[in-house]
Amino acid sequence: MARGEREKAQREGREPARVELARAVREAAVGSGGPAEFVELLTRAGYLVEVRRAPSGGLLGYKVARAGDVTATGEPVFYSGSKLAPDLSLPRLLRAWEVAGRARDVADPWSAAPRRVDAARRAVRAARRGQGVEDPDGLIHAAHSVTTAMRGTSGEWTAAVDHYDRAARLPRGTALREGARAAGLRRVARQLMRQRRILGIPDEAGAAGVALALALSSLLREIAAWQRDRGRAHQADAALSAADALTPLSGGQGTLVIDGLLLPVSAAPGQRPRTQPSREHGVPARATTGARIERLGGR
C-alpha cells in the first residue's frame, strides 16, 4: 500500500480504501455466481463499479471505487481487481465461478459445510503423505471462500479471516488446480453468503456453526503443516493464527460429528489437533479496439 493511501486514511479517520475494497470485492465474489451478480452486489453495497466490455458484450475487466473517495479533480479513485489482490483479478474470479458451478447445491449449507471442510482436511493430509489426488493449493484458496463467508459473524471469525487472508497468499505464478473438494468448498461458501443476506444466521445454525469452526480449525492446521512442508513459513504461521482465533468458539476442545463418527478434537494453540474417531457414535485489461466502459453504482 502506498504511503499516500495510508496518510489519506489517517487524515480521514477511516480504513484505507484498498483494504475496504478488497474485502468488499472478495465477499461479493464469494456470494455471487458470475459477473452480473457480482456487479449487482457491489453496486447494492454502495460502491462504484466500472466494467469494460468488448463489442460482443463480453467482460474484459472491472475496477471499483469507494463512494466519496475522489482525486483532487473530483474523479473517483478506482482500483482494478488485480491491484487489490492477485486472486481478485477478473481471470481468477471467472475461474472460481466456473469451479463452483460444477458442484451441486445442498439443502442445508450450515450442516453441509463442516462435512465439506473435513473432506478438504483429509485431502490435504493425504497429499502431505504423497497419497493425494487433489492439489492442496487449490484447497487452500477455496478455503478462503469459506472463511470469507463467515466474516463478521463474531469477533473470532473476523480475526480468523484476517489472519487467513495472509495464509492464502500463494507464491506468484502458482497454478491452481481445483478439484471436486475445492468446488464443494466454494459452492457451500456461496450458499452460506446467500442465506446470510436473506436470513442472517438462523438460530438452528448455532450448533452447525460450532461444528464448522471445529472443522475449519482442523483444516487450517493441516494447511499450516502443508505450507511448512513447502517452506512457506509466513503462510504457515498465518494459518495457525487463524486456527487459534477459532479455538474460543469450542473452548479449546470439542467434538465434531462427521459422517456419523464422533471426532474428539484437541486444539492447543500453535499445534495441530489430535483427532481420533470414536466408535461410540456413529486496472482492467489493456484497452482493446472497440471496448466500451460502463460505470455503475455509488451513492
pLDDT tens profile 254-281:
444 444 433 444 443 334 444 443 333 3
For residue range 230-258, list pLDDT tens digits in order: 999 999 999 999 999 998 886 554 444 44
Give dist(CA 52, CA 40) in Å, integer: 15
Contact 183, 100 (CB under 8 A): yes
Distance CA 162, CA 158 (A): 6
pLDDT digits (tens, 9 = 90+) for 122-159: 999 999 998 888 999 999 999 999 999 999 888 999 99
* Whole-structure pTM value: 0.79
Identify which of 20, 48, 90, 40 has the alpha carbon closest to the alpha carbon of residue 194.
40
Query: What's the Rg (C-alpha) of the chain?
Result: 20
User: What is the full DSSP assignment across 129-155?
Assistant: TT--SS-HHHHHHHHHHHHHHTTTSSH
Angle at the Cα of 167 from the Cα atoms of 166 and 168, rounded to 5 degrees: 90
**d(C-alpha 261, C-alpha 265), whole Å:** 12
Length of the chain: 299
Residues 6+ apart with CB under 8 A from 277: 261, 262, 263
- Helix runs in the chain, H state only: 3-12, 17-30, 35-44, 81-84, 90-101, 109-128, 136-149, 155-167, 180-199, 206-229, 233-246
**Burial of 217: CB neighbours in 10 Å, binned 0-12, 13-18, 19+:** buried
Backbone angles phi, psi at 47, to 5 degrees: -95, 150
pLDDT digits (tens, 9 = 90+) for 33-56: 999 999 999 999 999 999 999 888
And the C-alpha cell for 49?
A: 463499479
How many Cα atoms sit within 13 Å of 164 on the Cβ side?
30
- DSSP three-state, residue 64: strand
Decide which of 208 and 40 is more confident. Answer: 40
